[in-house]
Amino acid sequence: MRQRAKLSQSQLANALGCTPQWICQLEKADKTVSEQTALDLDTYFKTDGWDHDEGHFQRIHKTIRRASRHRVLLPGFDADLRHESLAIGIRCFAAQVVPGLFRQRTTHAGRWI
């Protein structure tokens, strides 16, 4: 919507009273949109239903909130998420296996061994 309105991140940030970096984080989905931010965006862009607190961004916010309640994580995964956010590096180890047989052609009589 920002691009459709031909606004820069700085212009939208000034209109909403925040920083361009914060707008960038919202657009990249690095930050979740709060209910108040959704209302502010709907009001600014006058999205369909904005005057009844049912605008475009408000609907997205409610959908995300509903979906996050139904998220299923394996037992203990929450602890892994907390540790990962504190990590300074992540290493992944995987075995490199090539299934099947290797064949080498000999120079003697063209036989496979």
Is the overall model pTM greater than 0.85, yes or no? no
- Would you write out the chain's pLDDT as a tens digit for each of its 113 residues? 999 999 999 999 999 999 999 999 999 988 888 899 999 999 999 999 888 888 999 999 998 888 777 667 778 887 888 888 888 887 877 777 666 666 655 555 555 55
pLDDT at 89: 81
| CA 53/CA 40 separation, integer angstroms | 10
CA atoms lying within 13 Å on the CB side of residue 102: 3
